[in-house]
Amino acid sequence: MSNQAEVLRNSISRVRQPEAAWLNAKWRERLHIIVVGAVLPIIVIVLWQLLGAFGVISANFLPTPFAIAASFKDLLVNGDLIRHLQISLGRAAVGLLIGGSIGLLFGLGVGFSDKMEKLLDPSMQMVRMIPHLALAPLIILWFGFGEVSKIFIIANGAFFPLYINTFMGIRNVDNKLFEVSRVLEFSRTKQIFKLILPASLPNIFLGLRLSLALSWLGLVVAELIGSQEGVGFLINFAKQNSNTEVIFVGIIIFAAVGLLVDVSVRFLERKYLQWREGFQG
């Protein structure tokens, strides 16, 4: 009996060894990507610090990374950074949820219906070309400087990428797949949920990434134009007081959070679109 148990343990060990080796190789590859990607930023930061420390670059024009880090620490310790960041994230989330959801629904409707496309898409394409900054004064005139105007500006940015990419994703589904579905006698409902929507997911995820980026841009516009709270207000207040370090802190926060959100969506893409093959470089 003990011999059989030993054989079983050896078999399990042999199975786990290739799996462990694969996981180690995967983590090594990820670590390599992180290290390679960090080389250029580290070089830039070191040069930046040296040029600032030796007075080559004026501190009023471009504060050193150490000075920016000190301002970041001060804002973090007194709680201002967390408070303003929470407010900005809340606004961006609400605007994205409203604008992105409506954009997704309109994209599905126009994608599945030729009549809706003829009725809605020309107007949508015309409105899409109006920049955020052109609409912002009108929105503020209508709704004032309160939260409604800010959410409206953010939602406007989030709407169009999801609308367009959902619509195009549905219309670009390969017609050969429909021929296969007819051979398999798929019902219309099964075609939608087993064929059209899965085939449209790459475009929908792309639309989500673009909506996140534009809603974040809309947040910056909304908070810089008129706000008493948020990271945009922090930047604007620092500008009025010629506090360049705090301006850089706000810019870095916007960049870091935007990157973190984009990476999260790319993680979901890799998880749900494993079936898709693409060029790896």
Cα(45)–Cα(51) distance, integer angstroms: 10
pLDDT, position 221: 81
Range(s) of the domain holding residue 75: 65-272
pLDDT block averages, 10 residues each, the chain of length 281 = 52 52 67 77 88 81 88 90 91 93 93 89 87 78 84 90 92 80 78 83 90 87 80 87 89 89 84 62 43
Cα-based distances in Å from 242 to 53, 60, 222, 230, 239 = 20, 8, 21, 18, 5
Q: Closest Cα partner for 104 from 155, 174, 161?
A: 161
What domain count does the chain have?
1
Within a domain: residue 267?
Answer: yes
**The model's pTM:** 0.77
pLDDT, position 3: 55
Within a domain: residue 238?
Answer: yes
pLDDT, position 19: 52
Within a domain: residue 75?
Answer: yes
Tokens of 33: 């990507």
Residues in the chain: 281
Q: Where are the alpha helices (DSSP H) in 129-230?
A: 132-143, 147-171, 175-183, 188-191, 197-225
Within a domain: residue 57?
Answer: no
pLDDT, position 248: 92
Cα(163)–Cα(51) distance, integer angstroms: 47
Within a domain: residue 35?
Answer: no
CATH number at residue 98: 1.10.3720.10
Helix (H, G, I), strand (E, B) or coil at 277: coil
Within a domain: residue 280?
Answer: no
